[in-house]
Amino acid sequence: MKKRIASPSVTKEILDKNGIRLKKSLGQNFLVDRNIIDQIISGARLSKDEHVIEIGPGIGSLTQRLAEEAEKVWAIELDDKLISILPETLNDYDNIKYIHADALEYDFEELLTDLNDKKVKVVANLPYYVTTPIIMRLLEERLDLDRVVVMVQKEVAERLVATPEDGKSYGSPSLTVQYYSEPNIETIVPRTVFMPRPKVDSAVISMDIRKEPPVEVEDEDLFFSVIKAAFQLRRKTIRNSLSKATNVNLDRDLVDEALEEVGIESRRRGEKLDIKKFATLSNTLFKLLN
């Protein structure tokens, strides 16, 4: 077994040797606990013929284990200094490809087209400042991924798996993630396993990418616009939210007609509607508009 990077002493040694000062602005909180790395690895359910995209390898603590479990790792790191030391730190592994790029801009589609018949998973301890935009990109671009397993802030994970019963955690991100995937919180992670320690706890969330959405939707743009409108004014009734929405132009009579047709009481709040109700409501609006 190769020397594990995920420990406080080895991490410190690598940082000192390379004169690296961690950047808070890039969400550089490194994992220094082997057990948590093992839990991420087991949540990823990797096999030797699969490829992994890792976003933000840092100094390689998770990358190292991914390289041992998968056929190949595509490690995308934004930081100039970290990307330059990774090949040396991980020189025992010849199945890692280092990519110096911003995960918000990187062309995942092109990479996945090149990997055409491979099963590809994303596994990462995401930089906190861009967690949600990165997850949304991976899902909304309908990339040909099998599973996404990422460490995020605990509150973010709770939001992504939330249902109407979960109160204010439930919102537009919950519905988007659940439309494209089946999310599950794998484990809650205390802040003590990071160097430096963040101010909040984290969670590992897995998302199995759906081949088919869980509900039938006539017009996805309208479906997501209705959801956004409902949560933009979440304390208002669904009738008011939809007819006052700025992102979609729906007049009050049309909203009333649609709500009546699908049997949603006009005084209900949008935050109480589940994904099925949003689908029937947007399908009815679509029919009335066309």
Q: Residues annotated in the binding site for S-adenosyl-L-methionine, as ranges?
A: 29, 31, 56, 77, 102, 125
Catalogue the E-assigned strands of the chain. 30-31, 51-55, 72-77, 96-100, 120-125, 147-153, 181-189, 194-195, 202-209
78 lines the binding site for ligand SAM (CB under 6 A): yes
Residue positions forming the annotated binding site: 29, 31, 56, 77, 102, 125
Q: Tell me which residue of 124, 120, 85, 82 sits closest to 103, measured CA to CA.
A: 124
77 lines the binding site for ligand SAM (CB under 6 A): yes
Measure CA of the first residue to CA of the last residue in the chain; give whole Å.
63
From the CB of 200, what's the least distance to ligand SAM, in Å? Answer: 13
Provide the mask over 181-210, with x wherever binding to ligand SAM is found by CB under 6 A and - wherever it is not.
------------------------------
Identify the three-state secondary structure at position 103: coil
From the CB of 75, what's the least distance to ligand SAM, in Å? Answer: 9
Size of the site for ligand SAM (CB under 6 A): 23
Q: Judge contact between 268 and 281, C-beta under 8 A.
A: no
Q: Tell me which residue of 216, 193, 206 sits closest to 34, measured CA to CA.
A: 193
Q: Judge contact between 118 and 111, C-beta under 8 A.
A: no
264 lines the binding site for ligand SAM (CB under 6 A): no
Q: Which of 102, 140, 216, 220 binds ligand SAM (CB under 6 A)?
A: 102
**26 or 254: CB nearest ligand SAM:** 26
Nearest to ligand SAM by Cβ — which residue? Answer: 56
61 lines the binding site for ligand SAM (CB under 6 A): yes
Q: Which stretch binds ligand SAM (CB under 6 A): 72-80, 185-193, 231-239, 266-274?
A: 72-80
What does the alpha-carbon distance between residue 225 and residue 254 come to, in Å, rounded to a whole number?
Answer: 16
Place of tokens 């999310």: 183
Provide the mask over 8-47, with x wherever binding to ligand SAM is found by CB under 6 A and - wherever it is not.
------------------xxxxxx----------------
Sign of the CA dihedral with 6 first, then 11, 13, and 19 last: positive
Q: Which of 43, 46, 51, 57 binds ligand SAM (CB under 6 A)?
A: 57
Q: Which of 70, 82, 143, 205 binds ligand SAM (CB under 6 A)?
A: 82
Q: Let me know if 69 is exposed, middle or buried by CB neighbors in 10 A (0-12, 13-18, 19+).
A: middle
Provide the mask over 104-133, with x wherever binding to ligand SAM is found by CB under 6 A and - wherever it is not.
x--------------------x-x--x---
> Tokens for 48?
């030797």
Burial state string for 122-146 with b = 16 or more CB within 10 A and e = fewer than 16: bbbbbbbebbbebbebbbeeebebe
173 lines the binding site for ligand SAM (CB under 6 A): no
What residues line the site for ligand SAM (CB under 6 A)? 26-31, 55-58, 61-62, 76-79, 82, 102-104, 125, 127, 130
